Structure 1
Amino acid sequence: MPGYQGGGHLRIEVLGRLRVLRGGTAVDLGTPQQRAVLAVLILHANRPLGREKFINAVWGLQAPEYAVNLLQKHVSRLRKSLAPPAGDPAGPDLVTWTDAGYVFTVRPGELDLDDFEREVDQAAAARAAGDLPKAAQALRTASELWRGPLCDGLTGPFLEAYRDRLAERRVGVLEEQIELELSIGDGADLVGQLRDLVAEHPLRERLRGLLMLALYRSQRQADALAAYHDTRQYLLEELGIEPAARLRQLYQRMLSADPALMPGTGEPVTAPPDPVSVAVPVRSIPAQLPHRVAHFVGREDQLAQLRRLRPGDSGSPALVVITGTAGVGKTTLAVHWAHQVRDQFPDGQLYVNLRGFDAAGTRVEPSDALMAFLNALGVPTIQIPPQVDARAALFRSVLSDRRVLVVLDNAGTAEQVRPLLPASDGCLTIVTSRNWLNGLVAVDGAERLNLDLFNTDEARQMLSRRLGDHRLSAEPDAVEEMLASCAGLPLALTIVAARAAFYSAFPLAVLAGQLPAHQAGLDAFRGDDQSTDLRAVISWSYRVLEPGPARLFRLMGGHPGPDITIAAAASLLGENLATAGAALTALATAHLVDERTPGRYSFHDLLRAFAIEEAEVVESDSDRQAALQRVLYHYLRTAQYADLLISPDREPLATVPPVEGAVVAGPADEVAALSWFAAELPVLLASVDLPHRTRLDAVTSRLVWGLGTFLDRRGHWHERRYDEGYTGYRELLEHSGRSGDQSGQAHVHFHLTWVLERQGKHREALAHAQQAATLFTESGSKGGLADCLNAIGWCYAQLGDTEHAIANCSQALVLHRQAGHRAGEAHTLDSLGYAHQRLGKHDKAVLYYGRAVELWSELGVPFYEADTLTRVGDAHHANGDLGLARDAWRRALLVFEGFGHPGADEIRSKLDDVKGGDS
């Protein structure tokens, strides 16, 4: 019994009938309702539970008028029952009252549910490290803790919902355990267990696939094939659907006696995401720190404070926050010190720029940063869950036995940082931010270092390092004027020093004399007097550029998004890659752009402001418009290439005419396409927003189309702007009509359907869907026709015409299945579920929704999965099944919250309305 030590020690068991053992002897817990009260307390262990929430959890809508008194009576009796005997070392009362509510205290090793979660976490860590036998053993240990359903025999809204949710988790753990055992050759005795599990959970195709594989590996090929036919017959009779593609593929491979299916291959058998069914991850040692600054000076007090940190020492903070104003050198200090101590972290160094104060508003979400970190640590993408909390847990598990340095640069809020914090004592995290991030200090125990402007000695030392003592001592008055103008801002000092170093033959007095000449604008970094004009400082580096780099610098001011690649820069210039690369190198050398990550160049926000001003003076409107058109065409064509790589069954939309001077370099494969989208997403979203400022709607409307599949996969579809999209698509429709592009017209009509549908204009949307269907039929596009039939059915369902809705969606389902378009099939199943729900056939609706949820999960599109789960909850609620409704809504809420999606607010409102669950 894990955690139980005998004597006066407690053991609390909820995985089965509720039991509390003190020194091995069961404690009398009283009546069933009193036991239910205790169960609710235990499942909220170590956090306060307010009276109102407590009452809702125990009784829900059936709470008696005297519920408060009844609750107090139950708690009082429980406190007496659970009180330790006099002199017992077990400690203070388990149940206490605080201003925030009742608190039930559970210590490590006392609760079997905690033991279960700990074993599952250990399995995840072992799996990530490639130790599959250890992972299987941990899952076996977790499974053996179960004696029956959670708090078996007790009732109540909270307990019933929690029981259903935990039962689902238990089956998932059993599936992972069995698949691990099969993959390492320990599956000889699993057939009987799997038959029992399939009988208990007949709709779980993953279990059926495991049964087939267990039979096959036991030399029972005929039985394995028969198990498939049983599955197919059951699904057709119950749901009218075929088995999932993965199960059908397994069946075909068994028919062909594929040798890779035999033990020891680690062969995947069920739908992703499935951590144990892929290749064993390699334990990678990342080294992601940016290069250190060659002429680092000053910050001695801060470096001394950082040197006192001792990773692994329980008395030393594992988190340090470096704060200060923009341009003060936070990143420079963090990276410099990180390089100094990197040898103390043999398991690697992780770095990410979180862009918390990006002028374009393109901050890096914790979920995306975790994906990059986990990939760098050797975890394959398929093993990484979609929810941010699950990713954070996996990240902590992977780092549980490692010594890794984590640098989180330019953070905006504490909430952006917390999911990225390791839990291992051997790890250390450095955060830089313009904000104070008080929450990290107060709650997470961070040590804060605040950077101020350089003092005079530090500023002089910086100039001396770059220019030499002899040059400074020769012109002391000029040096004083330069120091006063820079006002101790490291960014300004860096640019001044670079300019003076480049013009080594110029007297410093000449350079210093230019400062008072430009006194307006860029006031954000003005010092205590008028001599600290940063615009003049930036102009020093800009004015000496060759024409090519100077022009690129100006045009980059109008470039959408936070950073730029060489190919995009070449498109801005209308030149080749070599010319653009040389220009960017010149700008980087002059400290006018920064290569924070390889191949991506970014502006400091002050430099961007200066570039925009210069472009308005030097470049004509037509030249700036042409540059923008070239770079947008670059993003459009590259996005279309990438989209077809990740969605090959999607029909391409006719493109705009080629733009002379634009560079297009499509990704090589699906992996490269996904990486390109991930890297360019902030730029692409900013580009889509450009119709506010420019008449390039045909290009940006097509760019929305090119982004579609990736946005769906990543859960960003809520960021689309439908009013603007409608205007763009209407112009695109006119363009397609003038050019005689029938396929293009069909696609645009189809997209107008969904733009109008999102605006609630269902009858207008229906008309466009019918027009698109006609055009797709004439062009012979079955895939396009299938999409349109589903859209027509959906619109009919919204309008209350369920007969036409079901007829059109049923035709769409047949076409999608014939073509193997699984995403289209999932959309259509969801539509059929909705149509049956409108008819009041809620049970049938749930069956269609359930198959759609499975497909979305297999396809890795969590937001559509959550969207359908929301409707599953609606159907259960309409059917009077409040517990199942809450369970489905909570599952949807987890996904929406994981991605910061606004759909979470609607779910919370639904949960508040039923007033029966733990919110």
Structure 2
Amino acid sequence: MAAAHTTVSARANASRGTTPADEGTPPGYGPTSHAYQHAFHLLRRVPGPDIAVPAAASLLAIDADRTGALLDRFVADGLCERTAPGRFRVRPKAPHRAVAGCGDGAARRRLVDHYLHTAYRADRIIAPHRPKLPLASAGAGCAPEEPASREAALEWLDAEHTTLIAVRGLARDASRHLAVFQLANCLNGHYVRRGHTEEQLAQWADAVRAAHALGDPEAQITAHRYAGQAASRAGRHTAAVAQLGRAVRIAERHGEPGPQAWAYYIFAWVEEMAGRDEEALGHAVCAAGLFRRAGERGAEADALNAAGWYYTRLGDLVRAKEYCTRALGIAREHRYHGGEAAALDSLGLLAQRAGRHDEALASYGAALGLCRDLGNTYQEAGALDRLGDSYAAVGRLDEARDAWAQALSLYRLQRRLNEARATEQRLEKVS
């Protein structure tokens, strides 16, 4: 009978012929304690490949110092292993027994809250122009992280990429509809920047269901329009149009200019992906006016720039310059660096089409620098591709090859197969 009550730590140490030491173990978490067993039980149930100390602290509802000491104890006892500095996972064959009264539901809620609130803070640092989300307070015992800089925010989002997908599943399975929708909203910008199209598709499929379960028209508009964007990025035009159509119909019933504007803005992008620039232009101009009425100046800059981009593609360079210059002015006025990069990229294309290649090179170079500062590898790929075109136009073929090779690498990473094939063909012509 005694063997049936052996603790996980005692069993792990017995297998190595050692006795557990108390040094470094946080008070109340001795290897034979219920708290030790409870903590290990919760860690075993964490979704994703591993967990960082701050997230584990929220899961366990204890401070980060004690959490770090406890995880070190688990490593010493052979129950966990380090995957990177400050990150841990439970060893696959670590001994374990069920523990009564673990409060798994509260712990999972804290874990979801930790990732949701930290993702929101990271997104706000990277894209401060984005509308704020009315997040509920994190649960008692949850201590979300506060990235110190844009670089730290990007690093956190990259490091937690796989775990955030798993946490969304945790929230979905617990019917935490608002958390599912808000996680998608917080992560969408990062997925766009990094070209994570399949992940974007999956998260907005969950978010559409969550928004309808909430019965919130504004959430439904947002979910459908981003689901449409993701479908278009994946080359699924019919699905994209269907999602955007639902967003527009709900927005028109809802009546507020902001939600309508966002639906039309994404619809413009979808039409562009299908090669229908005239239809895209109409949607972009409509969106710009609605954004202005709603007071969303950063979004207005994006829509004006989109209209300028379509005018350029349609050959009306006078109107193109007017719209792109207005977009650049608004973006700079509001310190919206993402909008500034997009407007500079558009002005580069405009100058290129007009044969002003030195001006195009300067605009593309400035756009490229901002894209890299922002970690926007999706937009960086396009800027590099067009930069290569301008280099080729002035006979600087080595620099053109280098720019196209960098663009090709990013296109492949982002699974943008059509763009990759076109860039390969350019490289073959100058090889």
Name the TM-score, length of structure 2 as normaliser.
Answer: 0.65
Per-residue deviation at 1:517? 3.3
2:69 to 570, 588, 591: 588
Task: Check 1:538–1:680 CA distance in 2 against 1; reply closer, same or farther (3 A cut).
Answer: farther
| Residues 820 and 631 of structure 1, relative CA distance in 2, 3 Å threshold | same
Q: CA shift at 1:833, angstroms? A: 0.9
Measured in 1, the distance between the counterparts of 2:210 and 2:168 equals 20
Q: Point out the structure with the larger helix share.
A: 2
Q: Which amino acid aligns with 2:309?
A: Y
| Deviates most, 828-837 or 698-707 | 698-707
Give the Cα–Cα distance (whole angstroms) in 2 for the partners of residues 721 and 613 of structure 1: 29
Letter in 2 for 1:751: Y
Q: Any idea what the Cα deviations from partners look like across 1:791-820, whole Å, max 9, x if unmatched?
A: 223333444444443333323222222232
Candidates 178, 182, 186, aligned match of 1:706: 186
Select which of 541, 550, 564 maps to 2:53.
Answer: 564
Aligned to 1:551: 38
Which residue of the other structure, out of 806, 823, 837, is the alignment partner of 2:312? 837
Instruction: Tell me if structure 1 keeps the 8 A contact 2:292–2:300.
Output: yes
| Cα drift, residue 752 of structure 1 | 0.8
Structure 2 equivalent of residue 636 of structure 1: 116
Deviation string, structure 1 residues 334-391 (Cα, Å, up to 9, x no partner) = xxxxxxxxxxxxxxxxxxxxxxxxxxxxxxxxxxxxxxxxxxxxxxxxxxxxxxxxxx
- Asked if 1:876 corresponds to 2:351, the answer is yes
CA contact (8 A) 2:81 2:90 kept: no
- Of 131, 151, 155, the match for 1:650: 131
Work out the CA distance in 1 between the residues paired with 2:290 and 2:355: 35
Which stretches in structure 2 are left out of the alignment for 5+ residues?
Answer: 1-11, 400-431
Q: Which amino acid aligns with 2:38?
A: R
- 1:503-582 matched pairs, under 5 angstroms: 517-518=15-16, 544=31, 546-553=33-40, 555-556=42-43, 558=46, 563-565=52-54, 568-569=55-56, 571-573=58-60, 580-581=62-63
**Which residue, 157, 160, 165 being the options, matches 1:689?**
165
Q: What count of residue pairs does the alignment treat as equivalent?
A: 366
What residue number does 2:294 align with? 819
CA distance in 2, matches of 1:821, 1:569: 38
Map 1:181-220 onto structure 2 (within 5 A).
none
What secondary structure, in the 3-state scheme, does the structure 1 residue paired with 2:355 have? coil
Counterpart CA distance in 1 for 2:135 and 2:72 is: 41
3-state SS, counterpart of residue 261 of structure 2:
helix
1:618 corresponds to 2:93: no
- Structure 2 CA distance, aligned partners of 1:857 and 1:835? 21
Counterparts of 2:271 and 2:363, CA distance in 1 = 26
Q: Larger C-alpha radius of gyration, 1 or 2?
A: 1
| 1:910–1:813 CA distance, 2 compared to 1 (3 A) | closer
Identity across the alignment (%): 22
Rounded to whole Å, the distance in 1 between the matches of 2:284 and 2:151 is 35
Structure 1 residue runs of 5 or longer lacking an equivalent are: 1-513, 520-532, 595-601
Cα drift, residue 784 of structure 1 = 0.8
For the residues of structure 2 that align with 1:610 and 1:536, how far apart are their CA atoms? 20
Distance in 2 between residues matched to 1:768 and 1:610, nearest whole Å: 39
2:80 is the alignment partner of 1:605:
no
Partner of 2:250: 775
Question: Which residue is equivalent to 2:423?
Answer: none
Tell me the distance in 2 between the aligned counterparts of 1:850 and 1:894: 19
Structure 2 residue 333 is the aligned partner of structure 1 residue 855: no
Deviation at 1:778, TM superposition (A): 1.9
Q: Per-residue displacement from partner, 1:54-75 (whole Å, max 9, x unpaired)? A: xxxxxxxxxxxxxxxxxxxxxx
AA of the residue aligned to 1:795? V
Deviation digits for residues 392-438 of structure 1, max 9, x if unmatched? Answer: xxxxxxxxxxxxxxxxxxxxxxxxxxxxxxxxxxxxxxxxxxxxxxx
- 1:281-360 counterparts in 2 under 5 A? none
| SS state at 2:90 partner | helix
Question: 1: distance between equivalents of 2:219 and 2:271?
Answer: 25
1:289-325 CA-to-partner distances (Å, cap 9, x unmatched) read: xxxxxxxxxxxxxxxxxxxxxxxxxxxxxxxxxxxxx
Counterpart code for 2:165: D
User: Residues of 2 paired with 1:589 and 1:719: CA distance?
Assistant: 35
Deviations 1:527-577 (A, max 9, x none): xxxxxx9x9999996872633245335544637676333xx546523xxx5
Aligned to 2:229: 754
**Would the alpha carbon gap of residues 757 and 610 (structure 1) be closer, same or farther in structure 2, given more than 3 Å must change?**
closer
Aligned equivalents of 2:135, 2:240: Cα separation in 1: 22
Cα distance in 2 for partners of 1:769, 1:849 equals 25
- 1:794 and 2:269 are equivalent in the alignment: yes
Are residues 691 and 634 of structure 1, via their aligned partners in 2, closer, same or farther at CA, if it must alter by over 3 Å?
closer
Q: Do the aligned partners of residues 787 and 651 (structure 1) sit closer, same or farther apart at CA in structure 2, a change above 3 Å counting?
A: farther
Check the 8 A contact 2:119/2:157 in 1, yes or no. Answer: no
